[in-house]
Amino acid sequence: MAAWPVSRMLRRALRPSVRSCSSGAPVAQHRPGEELSQGPRQFLREHAAPFSAFLTDSFGRQHSYLRISLTERCNLRCQYCMPEEGVSLTPKADLLTTEEILTLARLFVKEGIDKIRLTGGEPLIRPDVVDIVARLHQLEGLRTIGITTNGINLARLLPQLQKSGLSAINISLDTLVPAKFEFIARRKGDQMQRRAGDIPTRAYAAGELWLVLGFHKVMEGIHKAIELGYCPVKVNCVVMRGLNDDELLDFVALTKGLPLDVRFIEYMPFDGNKWNFKKMVSYKEMLDTLWQQWPELKKLPGEESSTAKTFRVPGFQGQVSFITSMSDHFCGTCNRLRITADGNLKVCLFGSSEVSLRDHLRAGASEEELLRIIGAAVGRKKRQHAGMFSISQMKNRPMILIGG
């Protein structure tokens, strides 16, 4: 490890640790010396430098987690994420270049960001995604590099991504029924050139092309992630009434033999996704359904800044979480910032306020100037989002343009 200022090392030593894997399988990223006894802990607390003022908001929340959208494009068209008619894409020249992404990432990491998640659109359709991960991996102080993906290209790319330093994976999957997958994602599957030895499960042959159903590609990606030791492999499932709320128990059953963290996400409103209160299934309602089947379902302790409430059926390898942004928001401990593919800093997923870091970068702003702009935006962050009914009326971008 290159030399770090002592204060920075102390500050990091005090951060909550990454949860270990329930299955006992290797965890992709870990920290040595996790448990500190009270003496050293007290010493560290007294001597640690304060967290970056630029990344601390007026309510004292320290932002150490940055989500970067790598693209606005996607190979799926999920109903809850984008309008049926599609979105107008930003001209290529206005999107962040790879160098601009890395310049911003470097600046944020220097200030104290220790976790970056790459998202989109679909991050795995960006041709240089492996290179971006590798270059992020070289940033001193960055402890976790995660990706949120729809899983379609995952099985193919994961070995290279892992070698490049990818430490955490979230894979979106909203149904275990292949035909329903096509309906939700508004896409049938991919035509694939046939290669020797490449016989995917339940592909349809058509001359030299195979039509591979999206669902099976995602499942292949999930199994590849498990095989490569990611643990837990997080599976994001947006729950919508009348669409997939009848599959909750099937998803939980998957965690019996697989080291998954199935995360049920409350359906959130964004421009063009036709959100309405009746379609949203609340965390409490989901939990009731699960308890009827597994009364022994147990809540697990969680990190303070975690967005998830996590449970496990005793004896199951995996676990189940709920992301309760709507019915029980976690704004009080929010430590997340977002950069959109066109270079806007967004301090709250549900706020319309954005500031263009791209424009300042291209105008030749110095690091200090950029930090002042970032600090001002973080300083304006509200205490909490406006509540689910208000945010459903507010102008915001479609989720696909924000990056989740």
Contacts with ligand SF4, residue ranges (CB under 6 A): 74, 76-78, 81-82, 120-122, 150, 172, 400
Residue 17 vs 144, nearer CB to ligand SAM: 144
Identify what 347 binds: ligand SF4, ligand SAM, none; CB under 5 to 8 Å per kind.
Answer: none
Identify the three-state secondary structure at position 111: helix
The closest of 284, 269, 297 to 324, measured between CA atoms, is 284
Exposed (0-12), middle (13-18) or buried (19+): which is 180, by Cβ within 10 Å?
middle
Examine residue 81 and tell whether it contacts ligand SAM (CB under 6 A): yes
Residues 146-175 that bind ligand SAM (CB under 6 A): 148-150, 172
CB nearer to ligand SAM: give 254 or 399.
399
Nearby residues of 38 by Cβ (< 8 Å), 6 or more positions away: none
**Whole-angstrom Cα Rg for the chain:** 21
77 close to 86: Cβ distance less than 8 angstroms = yes
Task: Give the contact letters, 45-74, x = binds to ligand SAM (CB under 6 A), - = no.
Answer: -----------------------------x
Q: Which of 238, 252, 287, 370 binds ligand SAM (CB under 6 A)?
A: 238
Q: Give, as ranges, the residues between 120 and 149 that touch ligand SAM (CB under 6 A).
A: 120, 122, 148-149
| Residue 118 within binding range of ligand SAM, rule CB under 6 A | no
The least distance separating ligand SAM from the CB of residue 254, rounded to whole angstroms, comes to 17
For residue 84, what are the contacts with CB-CB under 8 A and spacing of at least 6?
77, 186
The CB-of-137 to ligand SAM minimum distance in angstroms stands at: 20
- With a CB cutoff of 8 Å and minimum separation 6, the contacts of 250 are 176
Selection from ligand SF4, ligand SAM, none that 167 binds (CB < 5 to 8 A by kind) is: none
Q: Which is nearer to ligand SAM, 181 or 270 (CB)?
A: 270
Please, what is the minimum distance in Å from the beta carbon of residue 393 to ligand SAM?
15
Show Cβ contacts of residue 109 under 8 Å, excluding neighbours closer than 6 positions.
116, 139, 140, 141, 142
Phi and psi at 194, nearest 5°, equal: -75, 130
- The whole-angstrom separation of Cα 10 and Cα 46 is 10
Instruction: Map residues 212-231 to x or -, x wherever contact with ligand SAM holds by CB under 6 A.
Output: --------------------
What number of chain residues touch ligand SAM (CB under 6 A)?
21
Amino acid making up residue 317: Q
Tally Cβ neighbours within 10 Å of residue 10.
Answer: 17
- Report the partner that residue 270 touches, choosing among ligand SF4, ligand SAM, none (CB closer than 5 to 8 A by kind): ligand SAM
Minimum separation from the CB atom of position 404 to ligand SF4 (A)? 7
Per-residue binding letters, 253-282, with ligand SAM (x by CB under 6 A): ------------x-xx-x--x---------
Q: Is 236 in the site for ligand SAM (CB under 6 A)?
A: yes
Asked if 374 and 346 touch (Cβ cutoff 8 Å), the reply is: no
Under 8 Å between Cβ of 166 and 142: no
Between residues 145 and 268, which has the closer beta carbon with respect to ligand SF4? 268
d(CA 9, CA 151) in angstroms, rounded, equals 35
- Nearest 10 degrees: Cα torsion 227, 225, 151, 210: -20
Of 51 and 80, which has the nearer Cβ to ligand SAM? 80
Q: How far is the CB of 404 from ligand SAM (least distance, A)?
A: 3
Stretch that binds ligand SAM, among 118-126, 175-183, 216-224, 252-260 (CB under 6 A): 118-126
Residue 158 backbone phi and psi in degrees, to 5: -60, -40
Between 86 and 332, whose beta carbon lies closer to ligand SF4? Answer: 86
Place of tokens 């001597």: 47
- What count of other Cβ atoms lies within 10 Å of the Cβ of residue 193? 8
Q: Which does 77 bind (CB under 5 to 8 A by kind): ligand SF4, ligand SAM, none?
A: ligand SF4
Dihedrals phi, psi of 139, to nearest 5 degrees: -75, 120
Residues engaged in binding ligand SAM (CB under 6 A) = 74, 80-81, 119-120, 122, 148-150, 172, 236, 238, 265, 267-268, 270, 273, 399-400, 403-404
